[in-house]
A = this chain, B = another copy of it.
Amino acid sequence: MRIVVVGGGFGGLACAKALGNSPHQVLVIDKKNFNLFQPLLYQVATGALSPADIAEPIRRVFKKYRNISTVMAEVERVDTATSHVVTSDGRQYPYDVLILATGSRYSYFGHDDWAQHATSLKTVEDARLIRTRLLTAFERAEKSTDPEEQRRLTTTVVIGGGPTGVEMAGAIAELGRWTLEGEFRNINPSSARVILVEGGQRLLGQFPEKLALYAQRELENLGVEIWLKRRVTEMDASGVRVDDERVPAGTIVWGAGVTATPAAQWLGLETDRTGRIPVEADLSVVGFPGIYALGDITAFTQDDKFLPGLAQVAKQQGRHLGEGLRSATEPGQKLAPFRYHDRGNTAVIGRHAAIFDFGRHRMKGRLAWLLWAIVHVYLLVNAEKRALVSLQWLWRYITKARGVRLIP
């Protein structure tokens, strides 16, 4: 069969890999030429790692599988009548089986104009932009002679108290406190403000309360101001309004709302509020035999709850689907139902501080932080990336320096 996988993220890659050297002809389409290890993207945004340290060329991943080919193109639509994927460069790719794994992106709750001021963190471009804005703000503060403007420029507002917001706030606080400290003559980077704004009652809603409180305490120890039960109501280039309070800021980071990429529209599907595609137990799209969806774009129900948009969910779904399709002989045949096995959820706050939630077991502190580092190095794509990231982390651990501070 001709199997087309749209999306080279965790899910799409796992699915295609499981189909490696199978009798099927597999085509992976992604608008990028690389797979991105998003869990470490916040380190690119804060100058700790280079983009390439967490990006692997998709075609290198599939080099050894002669039945898998790769195309860099943006999918424009799917012609379900003739079973073709149409890309924006006008080409058409026929499929017998289609797998949609295009992931999610950030949404600005109807304030699309906020996107120009508050950068989200999904792509390498996003990470470079945040890095550029952060470092440029400090450079401009150093040149300024107006204390108020210096204060504004060295203030960063992070919006959203989920894992991305927590990790960004922690990393930015460390950047000012340790990395840039002593390098400026007119400002003191260690007195830079980082404000984390969360609308809910507490940070990290998907973690147990104890771990979330620990994370909050650790962030506060780093100097992060945590504003709970408050909402951003306005935004422009020079700051935000939180409820009724104007907060001048040099950098604004968005880590709040997530929505599915518009793959559902290709099928003309009704989706849930966040754009996700309803699927059957075997990940096939309801009403479209032979078309499957996995990862963040999928609304998959298990034990009466939707599965969260996590890398490990996408990966497990991808592998499951790939293995199921391996021995399939015709499009649309029923596959084994998918079941998610939670291997634990983690977030890192900063040096020596991370949290793990394994369901019954929980972990926090120095040991959790070490485990977090080991797990994330292990999850990288190959030995080269592992060695490069380990080396840079070791260096940073010893010196508190960050090597990747280019503008842009």
Within 8 A of B (CB), among A150-197: 182-186
Instruction: Evaluate contact between A405 and B50: CB separation under 8 angstroms.
Output: no
Confirm or deny: A248 has a beta carbon within 8 angstroms of a beta carbon on chain B: no
Q: Chain B's nearest CB lies how many Å from the CB of A32? A: 7
* A407 to B53 Cα, complex, angstroms: 14
What does DSSP make chain A's interface, helix, strand, loop or mixed? mixed
CB proximity to B under 8 Å, residues A369-385: 384-385
When all copies of this chain in the complex are counted, the total is 2
CB within 8 Å for A405 and B34 given contacts A384-B395, A388-B391, A391-B388:
yes
Which of these, B34, B53, B399, B406, contacts A33 with CB under 8 Å?
B406
Q: Which residues of chain B come closer than 8 Å to A405, judged between CB atoms?
A: 33-34, 52, 57, 60
Q: In the complex, A52→B49 CA distance in Å?
A: 9
Chain A 173-229 residues near chain B, CB threshold 8 A: 182-186
Chain B residues in 8 Å Cβ range of A385 = 403
Mask of A70-88 contacts with B, CB within 8 angstroms, 1/0: 1111000000000000000
Pair B139/A63 contact, Cβ less than 8 Å: no
A328 at the interface (CB under 8 A from B): no
Contacts of A367 in B (CB 8 A): none
Q: Please indicate which of the listed interface residues A53, A89, A388, A392 has the most CB atoms of chain B within 10 Å of its own CB.
A: A388
Count of chain A residues with a beta carbon within 8 Å of a chain B beta carbon: 45
A73 to B387 alpha-carbon distance, docked (Å): 36
Contact with B along A23-36 (1 / 0, CB 8 A): 00000000011100
Indicate with 1 or 0, residue by residue over A15-53, a CB within 8 angstroms of chain B CB atoms: 000000000000000001110000000000000001111
A263: min CB distance to chain B, Å: 21
In the bound complex, do residue A391 and residue B395 qualify as a contact, i.e. CB atoms below 8 Å apart?
no
CB distance from A128 to the nearest CB of B (A): 10
Q: In the assembly, what is the distance between CA of A185 and CA of B388, in Å?
A: 30
A91 touches B183 (CB 8 A): no
Cβ A407 vs Cβ B32 within 8 A:
yes
Q: Say yes or no for A59: interface residue by CB 8 A criterion.
A: yes
A189 to B135, CA, bound (A): 39
- Smallest Cβ-Cβ distance to A73: which chain B residue: B143
A57 to B405, CA, bound (A): 6
Identify the closest chain B residue to A142 (Cβ).
Answer: B71
Q: Are A407 and B91 in contact, with the CB atoms below 8 A?
A: no
With A384-B401, A387-B391 already in contact, the answer to whether A55 and B142 are too (CB < 8 A) is no
A49: min CB distance to chain B, Å:
9
Q: Give 21 pairs: A residue, B residue, CB < 8 Å, sorted on A.
A: A33-B135, A33-B406, A34-B407, A50-B404, A52-B403, A59-B184, A60-B183, A63-B183, A69-B185, A69-B186, A70-B183, A71-B139, A71-B143, A72-B136, A72-B139, A124-B406, A384-B395, A384-B399, A384-B401, A388-B391, A388-B392
